[in-house]
Amino acid sequence: MKKLHILVVEDGRSQREMLRDFLIKEGHTVAEAENGERAVQSVLKGHFDLVLLDYKMPGMDGMQVLQEVKRINPEIDVVIITAYGTIETAVDAMKAGAIDYITKPLEFDELLILVDRVSERRTLIRENEILRQELGARGVTTDRIIYRSPKMGALINMAGRVAASRTTVLLQGESGTGKELLARLIHHLSPRAAKPIIAVNCSALHENLLESELFGHEKGAFTGASTRRIGRFEEADGGTLFLDEIGDLSASVQVKLLRFLQEREFQRVGGNQTIHSDVRIISATNRDLEARVKEGLFREDLFYRLNVVTMAISPLRERKEDIHALIDHFLKRYADENGKDMEGISSEAQDLLLKYDYPGNVRELENIIERAVVICRDSVISVEDLPFREDMGVAGEGHKDGEGMLRGSMEELERKLILDAMEKTGDHQTKAADLLGISERMLRYKLKKYNLKG
């Protein structure tokens, strides 16, 4: 993993030097600052991947330093070191941009885990930047895939690794998470990039029409088939076929798709000629295919053919870090499209958007921002420009009551998710935290907050 440039900010000399020596021994480059003012100056002058920041110091305290560091360079990761106050204090720091916190007396094993996590994230960022440069050299951009979260970073990295092969890929995720965008990225990174990628929504057509759409048909194959039709498998020869909503395939189409995956050949509807096609299959679903296999609704052998590499796209509610970047992206895009000079979004409106769970995921957020830009009378989007949604808890006038409703419903959902994770993992906090995508320390805070036994 990447060796880091680390700034240790600690007013206690012995503690600071102990941290410095330990991190240097682990192979990292370390600088020191004995107070907040020196820390800010160091960040202004140098490059750092990580700041280990004591929360309580004379002069500028940890929160002030954190805010300054994030203002200077939002990409720097900050871990708070504290022996004072409550967990809520550290959680406030995390809301302000810290990635985690650690308490005194320091446990070096715990510190090493945190540092390794930052190193892994930095490695992904570097690899993804190389990936973007490679794409740019080919005239392809990933500008439509907007992300800041480690989860999406890891997914983009995986796309780069699987692209070179011809193996089938199954994309799993809720509607609106961006499965087709990821499929197109894999195609553009692959040796097939010069050939077409063709997308077919398997749930949008009746069984007979879908079979003809995919495999083509001969003249007279059925009523209305007045001419031969070339199907998508032939059109995508040498390229990629993206089959969206694969879980909705009928039994007969499943059989034909399985045969193609086994033999790389098929026949048009109503035809006897065997046709060969060099097509890579990327499929996607928002259904639980394993459950459909158990229910007898999806062939097990086809499932295993499609499921060689599976990539799960997390819903937007599980990667809140991406929301800020997506809001900025959609705001600029729709302001340009509508010829409007938009300065931004009010803090109240942004706060509500960050708290919302987005059952429609990125697609829903995009629609909300587009609508807000269109109806906004000012240059700043306000709460009144957000759509009325009972489940969202925003109703223009009286939005403060809506905010309370939203917070209450989200806390109840969060409580339920934590209970479910603890039950699934047999009350194992480390496994439950991994399942929820949060740190174990944050899980302990949530257990205490909701008075749950852990």
- 62 strand-pairing partners: none
pLDDT bracket for residue 255 (50, 70, 90)? very high
- pLDDT given for residue 401 in this prediction: 44
The H-or-E segment that residue 213 falls in is helix 207-215
Distance of alpha carbon 66 from alpha carbon 86, whole angstroms: 18
Residue ranges of the domains in the chain?
A: 5-122, 150-312, 316-397, 400-454
Question: Quick one: fold of 5-122?
Answer: Rossmann fold (3.40.50)
Fold match, 5-122 / 400-454? no
pLDDT band at 132 (very low <50, low <70, confident <90, very high): low
Please give the Cα distance from 149 to 159 (Å, whole number).
16
The pLDDT, as a whole number, for residue 220 is 76
CATH for the 150-312 domain, from 3.40.30.10, 1.10.10.1200, 3.40.50.300, 3.40.50.720: 3.40.50.300
Could you give the percent of the chain with pLDDT greater than 90?
A: 30
Pick among 1.10.8.60, 3.40.800.10, 1.10.8.350, 3.40.50.150: CATH of 316-397: 1.10.8.60
CA-nearest of 376, 358, 368, 385 to 327 is: 368
Question: DSSP letter string over 86-108?
Answer: -HHHHHHHHHTT--EEEESSP-H
Cβ partners under 8 Å of residue 212, min gap 6: 221, 222, 225, 229, 231, 269
Residues 51 and 26 sit within 8 Å (Cβ to Cβ): no
CATH 1.10.10.60 fits 400-454, yes or no: yes
169-172/309-312 β-pairing: parallel
Please state the rounded mean pLDDT for residues 21-48.
Answer: 93
3-state helix, strand, coil in the chain (%, to 5): 50, 15, 35
**What is the number of H-type helices and E-type strands within the chain?**
18, 14
What average pLDDT does this structure show over 347-355? 84
| Residues written for the chain | 454
Confidence bin at 65 (pLDDT 50/70/90): very high
Give me the half-sphere count of Cα atoms (radius 13 Å) on the Cβ side of residue 101.
31
Cα-trace Rg, the chain: 26
pLDDT at 93 over 80: no
